[in-house]
Every structure is written in C-alpha cells, then in structure tokens.
Structure 1
Amino acid sequence: MDLQQMRYVLAVAETANFTRAAERCHVVQSALSHQVARLEKELGARLFERTSRRVWLTPAGEAFLPAARQALEAAERARAEVAATTGAIRGRLTIGSIPTVAAVDLPAVLQDYHVRYPQVRISLRTGSSERFIDQVRAGELDAAFLGVPPGFRSQGVHDRELAQGRHVAVVAPSHRLAMDREVELRLLADELFVDFAEGSAARAQSDQAFTAAGLHRDVAFEVSGIELMVRMVRNGLGIALLPAAFDAERHGLRVVPITDGPVRVERLVWSRSTPSPAAAAFLGLLDSDATASTA
C-alpha cells in the first residue's frame, strides 16, 4: 500500500468515476484502475462496486476512506513541517467564513497571504458558525470567522473576539421604512421577516433582542444563504436584520439603523492542536494586522 494508491481511491470516491479520477490525477485510466485493483487485492476486499453507468463505495471502501484521508493529510503535514525548518511555508490552508464577515477584509487578507506564501494552497468555505466550530474541532478547517450573539462561547477550540456591532433593518426601496433615518425595534414587530434557520447562531442575536424587549416577530421565510434572503427582501416578501456593514446599495436595498437593535459579535476560532506551518502563518498575519490597525 502506498500514498499514491490512496490518492487514486480518494479521487474515484470523490468523482464517482474512474475516467474523471484519472484526469484529476493526471494519469491514464488503465494505470489508475490497475493500482486500485492492486490495493483491493492487498486488502482482500473490494473498495468499489462498478457498473457501466456508476461507481460507488462498498462497506469496505467506506471504512477505508477516512483512514486514507488521514494518512494523506499526515504525509502532507510532514512535508510542510520539514519545509518550515528551512523557512519555506507550504501545504494547505482551509478557512471558513460567514458570508457577512466585516471585522476583517478577508479577500485582502488572503491576497496578502498568497503573496507572502505562494506555495500554500488556500481554500475558503462559507457556511454557518455552528458548523464551522465542529469543522475546526475536527481538524477539517484551520480557522473560521463566526458571527454570534454576545455571550456565545465556543467549546473545544481557541477563540477571540474581533469586533461587534448592531444589526440594521434591510428593506426594499418601496418599503414604508425605506426613507427613515432610524427605527425602534418595537416598530418592526408587525413586519414579516426573512431570516436564517431557527436555532442558528446567525439568527440567535435577532431572536434574543426581540425576546429581551418583550416582543414577538413573525419569521415567515427561513433561508440558508444571504443571496436568497436578499432576493426575497428585494421582492417585498419581508424585511431582514443584517450587520451594519452589509452593502445594501449594491443589492438595490435600503438600510435603516435600529436604535435598540440586535448585537452581533464576530469571533475567530482555530484548533487547539498545534497549527500547521500554513495555519500558524495565517494566524500570525491576522495578529500583525490587528496590531497595525490599533497602533
């Protein structure tokens, strides 16, 4: 068994196709198929079931895949650690970020990082704060930018606060509040809302603000992404509460400050394990940027 065979198995599993897997690995299909067959013979079990139309993992393949991924990640980490002793930072950096992060200019930070460490492959994922915490804890992400309510604490990871600010009401240009300079939370209670899923950190700060004020609101539409939320608000189906840094004008919407609006805290989380050289360099860059901005 060798690492290249593991890479082939992983490619077939992810593409569900031997031809596409071979293209990804830059080898001819016959060579890839031969190596997978050799590995199956060594293991004494088939890793894939095949028909003329599809390929899928067997139970043995399902069992093999996580360990193979860990072996490949360990090998990549070992190469990166050795390179770091000579001053070279390489490997992989995987970052998670909520879509509305405002505490840092993430594209600018990643551009700076890429210029400094061009041998690092950077991956960025967007999603929910809760999922990111689990992924950082599991080692699937090196770090993540969250948006959470005040008092929120992440378990099993390192974290620090980056910034906090109030939410604003985001409305369609034709909405009755579109030209108001500011509004109180109680005046929004009769509106229909477009928001994220109940129980999510992205929604919790808004729910908590209404509850603390003794108010009830009607969340008529639950969405999983900011783009769908924006389209629904633009079509007059409801209003949304989003961070003040949200660029409403770019989406053809209006922003109305809320005097007693919800507060969102942005936090950075990273693994409690020793960071890879690529991750350590990223965290160091964020620290240097934070120091420069407060100097």
Structure 2
Amino acid sequence: MDINLARTFLEIVACHSFVQAAERLHVTQTAVSARVKTLEEMLGRQLFVRNKAGASLTPAGEQFVRHAMTLVQVWERARQQMAVPPGRRALVTVGCEISLWHPLLVDWLLWMRKSAPDLALRTEVGLAEELLERVAHGTLDIVIAYAPRQRPGLRIELLIEEKLVLVSTAPGGQAPQTADYVYVDWGREFAAQHSLAFPELSSVGVSSSLGPLGLEYLLAVGGAGFFRQNVVRKHIQEGRLHRVAGAPEFLYPAYAVYAADADMTVLAPALAGLRSVAGKATSRPRIATAPAKGPQVKPPPRGSSVSASRRSRKL
C-alpha cells in the first residue's frame, strides 16, 4: 500500500478536516479526497463521514487508526535506519519544544556521546504540536514537551518538575515595573495565570516567544521577568539575578513522549540519558527565597499516564 495513503488518513484524523489536511500535506483537496477514496476501496470500508463540521471517523475508520499509525511508523523507522552511518548500530531522533531545549538537549547530546557512542543522533527544535504529530507518525523517536496531550499509541513520561520563577537584576528583588519588565510567552496556561497575578503587566515594552532571547536581553539591559528556575540558578548564584521575594511561581514540567511499541533496544539508552541529565538539573542545591505566594498550578496533562520514573521526571 502507498504509505502516503496512511499519512493522509492520519492527517485528516488529527485535524478533522479534508481542507486542513490538504494544507498541511501541501496538496490539493482533490488529491486528499482521491487518496481517501483509494484507501476505502482497498479496505472495502467507508472511513470518514463528511459534514459541515469537517470529517468524523466511522467505526471502521476508528479501527484503522492504530493500523495506519503502525504502517507509517514502521516505514519511517526502516527509512531512517537505512541512513545510519557506518560504525553506528541505529539512529535516534529527538525533537524538543523550543522553550525546553536549553540546556537539556545540549547536556543530553554530551551524555550520549560518552555513554552511547554506538548510536547516531539527530535533534530538532520546534513547536510542540508539530513535534508530537511527528512522533505519532514515526518520524521522530522521542519528543520533549511541556504539556503533551495523550494520544493513542504514545507513552508520556515525566522528566523534570520545573518552575518558572520571577527574577530581577535589581539586588533588592523588588516587584517588577512595566518599564523594565520582559514578558516571555511560556504558553496559554502561563498567560492566563500571569494575567491574574500581574494585570498591570499585561502590556509591556519588550516580549519574546523564546526564553533564551528574553534572558540574554534581561542580563544585558536589566529588568525583571519569569524564567525557568534550573536555567537562572547559576545567574542567581553568581549575583547577576535575584529572586523577587513573595512572587508567585508557576509549574512548568517537561515530559518525554515516545511510541508505546518503540524498539527499546534503541530508545532505552536515549531515555536513560534524558533521565540522567534531567535528574542532575533538579538535584542541584535549592535557592533560598522568601515563601512564594499566589498560583503554583500546572498539573500533568489530562489523561496522561506518567511512568514510574516520576519517582526517579520556553529556554
């Protein structure tokens, strides 16, 4: 069977629309409809019901989802393994959400170089939804994301129970002012909680969707902003940044997502490396601060299954 038929089917399932699937696949809607028709003829079953709301699965379509995912994943793994360079037994591909790659991904690459030199590595940084779509389709082995949604065939494992903390370049650690506040977009949940805690900071002069950029700007010109605790720790210890006493903290955990039926002989070393570097990041000495006030909420993703490694879990 043409693997593009399975890919097209899964894209429609993901976005519930023939039109949006065509846009994401960069083909015409006519081509998408033709592929679905071909697939339905091959299977002898109707897979979708089209209506004004988009496209919904028939009972036969729901049964085919798991098989389609398996087809695409097996093909992608085979294609990737054919590209493994000489001297390496397999290729591991890891994607990381933009806000989480530094320093986790760098530390992981260094760990893998020392502890698993027989594996070839490829890393990518991007948007969470796109990366999760690719791990579901088999084009990525592992994705590191902030709030992944549970999907059939995927496992979600807690790596880091991270916090976003308010820091300032001012030694006194006073409350931030609009004129020198740097707003970093850490996602919808953070934005909602932030607007409740700091309504006066809803409109500021400098904002960024990338944590490292916001932090470097803050260190260069001064000011205040929310950043990941594990990343600003060294700057606090060096005296370049200071925790703002009494400010709220926002949970910002990182999860590893991978296929439930993945080849663990390949993924096990990669996951071990992620757990190791994540554990080192969270086991460093805690920073003494005044008791935090306000919201500290961010539960694990709804419906997710956090693995036993929980006991061992945008910069």
TM-score if structure 1 supplies the norm length?
Answer: 0.52
CA contact (8 A) 1:167 1:258 kept: no
1:249 maps to which of 225, 235, 243: 235
Q: Judging changes above 3 Å, is the alpha-carbon distance between structure 1 residues 72 and 165 closer, same or farther for their aligned structure 2 residues? A: closer
Match of 1:225 in 2: 210
CA contact (8 A) 2:176 2:224 kept: no
Aligned length: 210
Q: What does 1:7-46 align with in structure 2 at a 5 Å threshold?
A: none
1:164 maps to which of 161, 164, 181: 161
Q: Is residue 114 from structure 1 mapped to residue 99 from structure 2 by the alignment?
A: no
For 1:93 and 1:75, locate their aligned partners in 2 and report how far apart those are by CA, in whole Å.
13
CA contact (8 A) 1:170 1:242 kept: yes
Residue 159 of structure 1 deviates from its aligned partner by 1.3
1:74 maps to which of 75, 78, 86: 78
Match of 2:171 in 1: 179
Match of 1:204 in 2: 188
For 1:290 and 1:139, locate their aligned partners in 2 and report how far apart those are by CA, in whole Å.
24
Q: What 5-or-longer segments of structure 2 have no aligned partner?
A: 1-27, 29-72, 284-310
**Counterpart secondary structure, 2:159:** strand
TM-score if structure 2 supplies the norm length?
Answer: 0.49
- Output one character per residue of 1:36-79: Cα deviation in whole Å (capped at 9) or x when no partner: xxxxxxxxxxxxxxxxxxxxxxx9xxxxxxxxx99674244489
**Structure with max Cα Rg:** 1
Q: Is residue 154 from structure 1 mapped to residue 146 from structure 2 by the alignment?
A: no
- Identity across aligned pairs (percent)? 15
CA contact (8 A) 2:164 2:251 kept: yes
1:267 maps to which of 248, 254, 261: 254
CA contact (8 A) 2:176 2:223 kept: no
For 1:155 and 1:193, locate their aligned partners in 2 and report how far apart those are by CA, in whole Å.
35
1:279 maps to which of 236, 251, 267: 267
Residue 138 of structure 1 deviates from its aligned partner by 3.2
Root-mean-square deviation (CA, aligned residues, Å) is 4.7
Match of 1:39 in 2: none
CA contact (8 A) 1:95 1:123 kept: yes
For 1:291 and 1:193, locate their aligned partners in 2 and report how far apart those are by CA, in whole Å.
31
Match of 2:290 in 1: none
**Counterpart secondary structure, 2:109:** helix
Residue 242 of structure 1 deviates from its aligned partner by 0.2
Q: What 5-or-longer segments of structure 1 have no aligned partner?
A: 1-58, 60-68, 81-87
